[in-house]
Homo-oligomer: A and B are copies of this chain.
Amino acid sequence: MVKGSAVSKHLVIFESSGKKGYVEDGKTLLEAAQELGEDIESVCGGKGVCGKCLVKFDKELCARYGIESGGQPLSPPTEKEIELLSRHGFGDEYRLACSTIVLGDVVVFVPEMSRREKHVIRKSTVERVIPVKPAIRKYYLELSPPTLNALAADYHRLAAELGYSFGLRIVGIDYAALSNLSSVLREGDWKVTVTVWMGQEIVRVEPGYIDGSYGLAVDIGTTTVAGYLCDLQTGEVLATEAILNPQVAYGEDVISRINHAVTEPDGLATLNRVIVDGIGEIIASITRKAQLVPGDISEMTVAGNSAMHHIFLNLNPEYLSKSPFVPTIAKSLDIKSRDLGIGLDKSTNVHILPIEAGFVGADNVGVLIAEEPYNQDEMVLIIDIGTNGELVMGNREKLLCASCAMGPAFEGANIKFGMRAAPGAIECVTIDRQSLEVKFKVIGSDEWSTASSSVKAKGICGSGIVDAIAEMVKAGIIEESGRFNRKLVSPRFSITDEGPAFVIAWASEASLGRDITVSIDDVRAVQLAKGAMYAGVRILMEKLGVTELDKVILAGAFGSYINKENALAIGLFPDCALERVYSVGNAAGEGARLALISLDKRREAEEIARKVEYVELTVEPEFQKYFVDALHFPIPNELNSP
CB within 8 Å of B: which residues of A?
A: 146-156, 173, 175-176, 178-183, 186, 313-316, 318-319, 323-331, 333, 335, 338-339, 355, 357-358, 614, 616, 618-619
Interchain CB contact (< 8 A) of A149 among B146, B147, B619: B619
B183 near A316 with CB under 8 A, answer yes
Contact of A619 among B148, B175, B186, B614 (CB under 8 A): B148
Shortest CB distance A234–B (Å): 32
A155 near B326 (CB under 8 angstroms)? no
Q: Are A155 and B331 in contact (CB under 8 A)?
A: yes
Min distance, Cβ A446 to any Cβ of chain B, angstroms: 46
Q: Are B326 and A153 touching (Cβ within 8 A)?
A: yes
In Å, the complex CA distance between A355 and B156 comes to 12
* Set of chain B residues within 8 Å of A149, measured between Cβ atoms: 616, 619
* Inter-chain contact B314/A179, CB cutoff 8 Å: yes
Q: Is the CB of B616 within 8 A of A148?
A: yes
In the complex, are the beta carbons of B155 and A330 less than 8 A apart? yes
9 tightest A-B contacts by CB? Answer: A155-B329, A153-B330, A182-B328, A153-B327, A146-B326, A148-B324, A148-B619, A148-B616, A154-B328
What is the distance, in angstroms, from A200's C-beta to the closest C-beta of chain B?
14
Least Cβ–Cβ distance between A178 and chain B, in angstroms: 6
Query: What's the Cα separation between A313 and B319 when bound, in Å?
Result: 40
Expressed in whole angstroms, the Cα–Cα distance for A456 and B197 within the complex equals 62
Please name 28 pairs of A and B residues whose Cβ atoms are closer than 8 Å in the assembled complex, sorted by A.
Answer: A146-B326, A147-B324, A148-B618, A149-B616, A151-B324, A151-B357, A151-B358, A152-B330, A153-B328, A153-B355, A154-B329, A155-B328, A155-B330, A156-B329, A156-B331, A175-B313, A175-B333, A175-B339, A178-B315, A178-B329, A179-B313, A179-B315, A180-B316, A181-B315, A181-B329, A182-B315, A182-B328, A186-B319
Q: Known pairs A154-B319, A181-B328; list 4 more (Cβ under 8 Å).
A: A148-B616, A149-B616, A152-B330, A155-B330
- Inter-chain contacts of A319 with B (CB < 8 A): 154, 182, 186
Please name all residues of chain B whose beta carbon is closer than 8 Å to the beta carbon of A328 when the two chains form the complex: 153-155, 178, 181-182
Q: Which residues of B contact A618 (CB under 8 A)?
A: 148
Q: How far is the CA of A619 from the CA of B147 in the complex (A)?
A: 11
Contact B330 A156 (CB under 8 A): yes
Chain B's closest residue to A617 (CB) is B148
Residues of B within 8 A of A150 (CB): 324
A329 neighbours in B (Cβ, 8 Å): 153-156, 173, 178, 181
A411 to chain B, nearest CB (A): 25
Residues of B within 8 A of A314 (CB): 179
Instruction: Tell whether, in the assembled complex, residue A151 and residue B313 are in contact, meaning their CB atoms are under 8 Å apart.
Output: no
Minimum CB–CB distance for A485 against chain B, Å = 41
CB distance from A201 to the nearest CB of B (A): 13
A156 contact set on B, CB distance < 8 A: 329-331
**Given A148-B618, A156-B331, A357-B151, A182:B324 Cβ within 8 A:** no
